[in-house]
């Protein structure tokens, strides 16, 4: 993106508590259009900074690295809009936003293709051990073929649907569970994750994190998946009971895991690093230059719409 080497002196102020990755890459582009209040440069603790600068702040720009809690919202009494550079909004207190009339926007399906690619890549990595050069050194090259495997997708939204399309093209037998049966797809539907696990060789997690999906992948699900089963998670870390996942992997109770997200990010359970059947990524499924560029443009579009008193481009519904 073209940018000038100065920050805009626009009266339209946007608070950034911690810089989202997409903002870091395209900071100049965004700063050319809005006055960015950078809390992360302040020597003050975040709470003190917010309390010292609350009255003029109508917009906060965030991502999953910046939880917008009820406490944060209380320190921003003039806030009218939360703009997140993520698809998920589990890091935003949506109930408090609804109660306060604070609107929220996300980047909708900007990241879907890239995250779907990573999900499939992780599945291939775990099953075929492509990048594990230690197997070359010790001679253990035997993996599992992907074609013909029964792959269960948890959450058949934008990302899950794209994962399904990719896996079907590779000869996989794809089924799914979701909040509701999708009547527009011929894929086999299972009403519960337990039934899906019992009928799958691998689970790919693509669902949102909610109170209903937190620790959805628990001891029972992993047991039903079986000793040869594989779990790939590109959703949110807390969808899996991470303690149980580590135990099942260490004790050989499931076949392997490909993980891009973790329950207590940025911390990754240290037990995973020594396991040959685990592939870990640093929550980078959406980290491509194309994705970040599209996300930055969408963020700017929502901000411009807000300050011009026009309809937001990607509002998140507060009806839940």
Residues 196-212 pLDDT 10s: 999 999 999 999 999 99
Would you state the pLDDT for residue 141? 60
pLDDT at residue 6 is higher than 50: no
Q: Looking at the chain, which residues constitute the CATH 3.40.50.720 domain(s)? A: 13-110+288-307, 112-280
Beta bridge partners of 83: 61, 105
Catalytic residue among 129, 132, 283, 297: 283
pTM to 2 decimal places:
0.85
Contacts of residue 17, Cβ cutoff 8 Å, sequence gap at least 6 = 39, 40, 46, 50, 60, 62, 66, 72
Average pLDDT on 22-35 reads 94
Number of other CB atoms surrounding residue 85 within 10 Å: 27
Catalytic residue among 80, 96, 265, 304: 265
> 205: closest CA among 178, 180, 232, 224?
232
Would you state the pLDDT for residue 103? 98
> 106: closest CA among 265, 315, 261, 282?
315
How far from each other are the two terminal CA atoms of the chain, in whole angstroms? 37
Average pLDDT on 50-61 reads 86
The structure tokens 């805009």 sit at 8
The structure tokens 């901000």 sit at 303
Tell whether domain 13-110+288-307 is in CATH 3.40.50.720: yes
pLDDT at residue 5 is higher than 70: no
Which CATH number is associated with domain 112-280?
3.40.50.720
pLDDT at residue 155 is higher than 80: yes
Would you state the pLDDT for residue 4? 42
pLDDT at residue 241 is higher than 60: yes
CA-only gyration radius of the chain, Å: 21
80 assigned to active site: no
> 208: closest CA among 184, 186, 239, 182?
239
283 assigned to active site: yes
> Among 127-136, 261-270, 293-302, which stretch is predicted with the lowest mean pLDDT?
127-136
> Among 52-61, 215-224, 293-302, which stretch is predicted with the lowest mean pLDDT?
52-61
5 assigned to active site: no
Residue 254 in 3-state DSSP?
coil
Cis peptide before 266 (omega within 30 of 0): yes
pLDDT at residue 48 is higher than 60: yes
Alpha-carbon span 220 to 193, nearest angstrom = 10
Catalytic residue among 236, 244, 263, 297: 236
The structure tokens 């499924």 sit at 285
> Among 166-175, 197-206, 286-295, which stretch is predicted with the lowest mean pLDDT?
286-295
pLDDT at residue 284 is higher than 90: no
Average pLDDT on 134-148 reads 69
The structure tokens 């959406």 sit at 286
91-106 tens-digit pLDDT = 999 999 999 999 999 9
Cis peptide before 172 (omega within 30 of 0): no
DSSP classification of residue 209: P
Mean pLDDT of the chain: 91
Would you state the pLDDT for residue 310? 98
Contacts of residue 139, Cβ cutoff 8 Å, sequence gap at least 6 = none
């Amino acid at each position: 993106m073209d940018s000038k080497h100065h920050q805009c002196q626009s009266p339209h102020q946007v608070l950034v508590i911690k810089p989202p990755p997409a903002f870091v890459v395209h900071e100049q582009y965004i700063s050319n259009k809005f006055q960015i209040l950078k809390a992360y440069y302040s020597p003050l603790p975040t709470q003190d900074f917010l309390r010292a600068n609350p009255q003029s702040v109508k917009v906060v720009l965030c991502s999953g690295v910046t939880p917008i809690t009820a406490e944060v919202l209380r320190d921003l009494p003039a806030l009218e809009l939360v703009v997140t550079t993520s698809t998920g909004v589990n890091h935003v207190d949506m109930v408090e936003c609804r109660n306060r009339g604070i609107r929220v926007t996300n980047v909708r399906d900007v990241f879907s293709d890239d995250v779907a690619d990573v999900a499939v890549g992780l599945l291939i990595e775990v099953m075929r051990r492509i990048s594990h050069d230690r197997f070359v050194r010790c001679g253990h090259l035997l993996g599992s073929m992907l074609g013909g495997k029964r792959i269960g997708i948890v959450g058949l939204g934008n990302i899950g649907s794209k994962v399904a399309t990719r896996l079907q093209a590779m000869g996989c037998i794809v089924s799914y569970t979701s909040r509701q049966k999708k009547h527009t797809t011929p894929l086999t539907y299972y009403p519960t994750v337990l039934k899906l696990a019992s009928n799958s060789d691998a689970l790919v997690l693509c669902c949102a994190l909610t109170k209903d999906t937190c620790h959805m992948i628990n001891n029972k699900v992993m047991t039903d998946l079986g000793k040869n089963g594989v779990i790939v998670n590109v959703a949110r870390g807390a969808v899996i009971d991470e303690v149980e996942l580590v135990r099942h992997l260490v004790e050989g109770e499931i076949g392997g895991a490909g993980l891009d997200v973790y329950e207590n990010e940025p911390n990754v359970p240290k037990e995973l690093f020594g396991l040959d059947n685990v592939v870990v990524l640093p929550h980078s499924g959406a980290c491509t230059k194309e994705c970040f560029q599209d996300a930055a443009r969408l963020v700017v579009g929502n901000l411009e719409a807000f300050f011009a008193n026009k309809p937001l481009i990607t509002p998140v519904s507060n009806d839940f």
